Amino acid sequence: MNDINISHVDILAILNSYGIQPVKNRNHKFWFNSPLRNETKPSFVVDTEKNLWYDFGLGEGGNAITLICRLNNVSAKEAFQIISGKGFPKPRNIIFKTEKTLGNSALKIIKANASINRPALIDYLNQRKIDGNAVRNCMSLKELYYAIEDKRYYAIGFKNDRGGYEIRNSFWKGSSSPKSITTIPGNPGIVNVFEGFMDYLSALTFFKTAFPRHTSIILNGTGQTKVLISLLPEFKKVHLYLDNDEAGQRVVEQIEKIHTNVINHSKNLYPKYKDFNEFICGKLE
């Protein structure tokens, strides 16, 4: 690990090997829709002269190691292991589309299997401490096969209400169009709200149940907050399991302004952790 010169680890190659392509480039700066959050206007930039990245929406940036840490939710030591060949896809030649947005056709869903059988995906869920019973009984969860341009991949797919997918594996975090919330049916009147599907699965694991008692809504990103707000009048009580970060707490504030019966579990259940999954994994911020 100590033989690696971080300045020589190409950030563009890292992003490309994860299937993340630039929207545009100007000279030595390549712009992406952020792989760390949901957005439609690119504000994540890689400076190839400095070999550094910066996310203007988050106000964060760094080198190859910090990017691997953020993409995979791992420590710096684990990031070094990934870069040194333990699981990191070998970088391939990069072809950029100058000043042209990659449309929905850039990612194509090939098939979605009802059960997750790939050992690498099972290992990924095990690493996230997700209970197998919760996985087997979640109808929205799929073993997803997809292509980005001429390359094929597989990952865990979480289907939303409009037929799009949230896509996760050890190396990539993305989504397919159309973007939307996912609704899990349950008893009416009370709703559980989660920011992402890994938080939803974490809750099932923590509460030792395969099915939620009440209706659950997974936002699949805080960009779907308006959709959620339009549905809240249907419910007399709202349980929030959002992230303990600026974006998550902004959503909490919005909901508390319009609903009189809101319980914010991020503050009373896992106040020292970024989200529900880090809580069950025991990973402090």
Domain edges within the chain: 6-83, 104-175, 182-281
Report the distance separating Cα 203 and Cα 196, nearest Å: 11
The answer to whether the beta carbons of residues 240 and 266 sit under 8 Å apart is: yes
Q: What does the angle CA 221 – CA 224 – CA 227 come to, to the nearest 5 degrees?
A: 155
Question: pLDDT 10s per residue in the chain (285 long)?
Answer: 445 566 667 888 888 777 788 888 887 888 999 999 888 888 899 988 888 999 888 888 888 889 988 888 888 888 887 777 544 443 333 333 222 223 345 678 999 999 999 998 999 899 999 999 999 999 999 999 988 767 788 899 999 999 999 998 876 777 888 889 999 999 999 999 999 999 999 999 999 999 999 999 999 988 899 999 999 999 999 999 999 988 899 999 999 999 999 999 999 999 999 999 999 998 654
Q: Encoding tokens for residue 205?
A: 């694991």
The sign of the torsion formed by the CA atoms of 13, 15, 16, 22 equals negative
Q: What are phi and psi of 80, to 5 degrees?
A: -60, -40
pTM for the complete prediction?
A: 0.66
Residue 8: what pLDDT? 67
Q: CB neighbours of 127 closer than 8 A, spacing ≥ 6?
A: 170
List 141's β-bridge partners, or say none: 158
DSSP the chain: -TT--GGGS-HHHHHHHTT---SEEETTEEEE--TTS--SS--EEEETTTTEEEETTTTEEE-HHHHHHHHHT--HHHHHHHHTTSSPPPP------TT----GGGEEEEEEESS---HHHHHHHHHTT--HHHHHT-TTEEEEEEEETTEEEEEEEEE-TTS-EEEE-SS-EEE-SSP--EEE--EEEEEEEESSHHHHHHHHHHTT-SS-SEEEEE-SSGGGHHHHHHHGGG-SEEEEE--SSHHHHHHHHHHHHH-S-EEEHHHHTSTTSSSHHHHHHT---
The CATH code of domain 182-281 reads 3.40.1360.10
The CATH code of domain 6-83 reads 3.90.580.10
Using only C-alpha atoms, what is the Rg of the chain?
Answer: 19
Residue 72: what pLDDT? 84
Residue 132: what pLDDT? 95
Report the distance separating Cα 193 and Cα 256, nearest Å: 13
